[in-house]
Amino acid sequence: MSPNQEYYPYISIQNEQFISEYLAITKNKTCWQIGCYLGSMLYIDIGGKCKRFLGKNKKEWIIEGTDVIGVRDCYWEIWHNDELVIDAWTDNTIIKEKIQCLVNQQFIDVIIEKDWIEFCFSDNYTLICDFTNQNEVEDETDSILQLTSEDKIEYEILVYGKIEKHI
């Protein structure tokens, strides 16, 4: 069970429903910040900016995108045209610099295949996230991608590509 399932009720949805709903929320919004944490995990802030309070005391806060793609525990690659820019197994000192290629790019599409999901950005940039568990996540119910909107987790994608929508 993903850590958020106990707090947010969810339902499983089909790929087509997810694509339709997610594009309605994020299409044509611009990435204004991308960063990495805990090695190769990514956060991609798109859309407007909003404050999100951290912890229970609500005294600390960060600025993040109104929409965030959170890449957690999966293998990923960023491509430009037909050239690999960077992947999750690249040295961490290089990742922080190379991922900046997505800044100022508009989010334009999402494509789901059997073994991966593609987040497509303008200027032919693509973030591909793997569903085949190359990172060897032990619990198949763990979230490998979290997609938030307006500080609320909207969707989680689990190992092997199962999509959950929080309701």
pLDDT tens profile 1-45: 444 445 567 889 899 999 999 998 899 999 999 988 877 789 999
Cα–Cα distance list, 45 to 16, 75, 104, 114, 124 (Å): 24, 19, 11, 26, 18
Total domains in the fold of the chain = 1
Residue 138 pLDDT greater than 90, yes or no: no
CB distance 94 to 146 below 8 Å: no
117 located within any domain: yes
142 located within any domain: yes
The amino acid at residue 107 is F
Residue 60, classified by CB atoms within 10 Å of its CB into exposed (0-12), middle (13-18) or buried (19+), is exposed
pLDDT digits (tens, 9 = 90+) for 72-128: 888 999 999 999 999 999 988 899 899 999 999 999 999 999 999 999 999 999 999
pTM: 0.86
Q: Is residue 1 part of a domain?
A: no
Percent of the chain as helix, strand, coil, to the nearest 5: 15, 50, 30
Q: Give the range of the structural domain holding residue 142, as residue numbers without chain letter.
A: 10-166
34 assigned to some structural domain: yes
The reply to whether 62 falls in a domain is yes
In a domain, 4, yes or no: no
Q: What is the CA radius of gyration of the chain?
A: 15
Task: Let me know if residue 3 belongs to a domain.
Answer: no
Would you say 85 and 68 are in contact if contact means Cβ atoms under 8 Å apart? no
In a domain, 138, yes or no: yes
